[in-house]
Chains A and B, each alone.
Chain A
Amino acid sequence: MIEVDVTSPSPPYEQIRSQLAELIRCGVLGVGTRLPPVRQLAADLGLAAGTVARAYKELEQAGYVSGKRGGGTRVLAQPEPRAARADLIRGHARAYLTEVARLGGSVEEAVAALSEVATAAEEVAVSEAVAVSEAVVSDAHQGRASDEPSGGRSRLGPL
């Protein structure tokens, strides 16, 4: 997943390039993974196709991907993706600590806030998983009960 902030001073193609480069360096996008077609990614981001094409071209020049006509754009092998991932995580942690220090916070406060956020995120993930499994179990019990309105679900109408 990538995000582009069109109000940022960094141009959109550079945001796309840097995020994709990061994902490739970390090994999130493995060797041979195909990137979405230029026009599709441009449409999803509401940008011009040339913007995405420029980002892809720069990634190709930097040795992250290779583009072949008809074969799409594929990720090339990168040296030590795990080490790069650890480096990037450390870099983000350093940036976070710098931000906390700028606000006058201590390292302990930063770690406490982080674990609080992590616990909350975990709880949300668990409750979502429970809701999904309950829905599956309820469907299995009710069979075709999906046609009838039931508690916790709302009908949105036809397509």
Chain B
Amino acid sequence: MAAVIPHALAVVLVLVAVLLAVLMSLNREVRVPAGGYLPVLRATTGRRLWSRLAGLVVGIAASWLALTWDGLGRGAMLAAPVLGIGLLMGTLAGELAVPRPHGPIRGASLEIRRARDYLPRFSAPLAAALSLVAVVLLSVTSATASADDLGRSGRVLAMSSPDGAVRSATGPWPGWFYAWPMLAVLAVAFLLSALVTHRVVQRGRPGLDPAARAVDDAQRAHSARVVTAAYGLCVALPLTGVAVVAAGALFRQSDLAGWAAPGAFALLGVALLAAGSAVWYLAELLSRPRIRAS
């Protein structure tokens, strides 16, 4: 029964994300001037989508392997970031597949494109804040962790009563044993996100036609949204798990320290925020704005 509840909760959250994605897709519409060589842009849109789907398939396969890698919870913790990295690689492949400007006469405006022109205003700062929370939380849990009974360092939370008479260790606790793989995978995801965003911003324009430029801008913004959402999922999902596990350990140790219970409730707040963010990022990934010529 206890194992069914998290699964049911996950299904509900995914359904909420799908509903949110449908609402987002209905409300997001990009107006572009009529004319131009839009069929070319449609073809590159298809190429990008297929690359992303291929990345998603690779990510699902890799996350399945990650799940089976470790029976102590590290596999489950890394499954979502590995899936996100697959999606980021697919997005990068799609961006690299966009053809360079060609033809005898090529035009360019003297605009300066910056990442902040395309990154989503809410999702990107949220991902940065979640990353900061994850790093701080894992640093604190690593600093307070102890070795378990088999000598694996950074796996349990050992505490003593104020008078030193009672000593108790509980786990799992997200100490260094869990923190280093997660931080390593998050570093890879961050670098990959930065690389894809750089490519999204710096790749060539399809020309000077206003319609083509408008569609191109919309495509760049959508790619930046996918990158942010994939990275956000990489951080938010494991952060939810880490916060819940740490809160559980603190609740079990609440008899030994008065601050343990409030700390556990604070961690549950972090878990709630991270889970809500994960739903938001999943909805961002699933939504697709429409282009309409006027």
Contacts and interface: CB of A to CB of B under 8 A. Distances in A.
Where chain B touches its partner, the secondary structure class is: mixed
Interface string B86-108: 00000000000000111011111
A39 B204 CA distance: 9
A2 interface: yes
Interface residues of B, number: 40
Interface in A100-139: 131, 135
Contacts, number: 108
B112 A36 contact: yes
A9 B220 CA distance: 35
Contacts of A3: 105-108
A41 interface: yes
Interface in B220-234: 222
Interface stretch (B124-132, B148-156, B286-294): B286-294
Contacts of A40: 112-113, 201-202
B110 interface: yes
A7 B104 CA distance: 6
A156 to B, nearest CB: 4
Contacts of B45: 159
A45 B205 CA distance: 8
Contacts of A7: 104
Interface string A6-49: 11000000000000000100000100001111011101111100
Given A44-B205, A45-B106, 7 more contacts: A6-B104, A39-B202, A43-B101, A43-B205, A155-B290, A155-B292, A156-B290
Interface of B: 25-26, 29-32, 34, 38, 42, 45, 100-102, 104-113, 201-205, 208, 215, 218-219, 222, 288-294
14 contacts: A1-B109, A4-B107, A5-B104, A36-B110, A37-B112, A44-B109, A44-B205, A46-B102, A153-B293, A155-B291, A156-B32, A156-B290, A156-B293, A158-B25
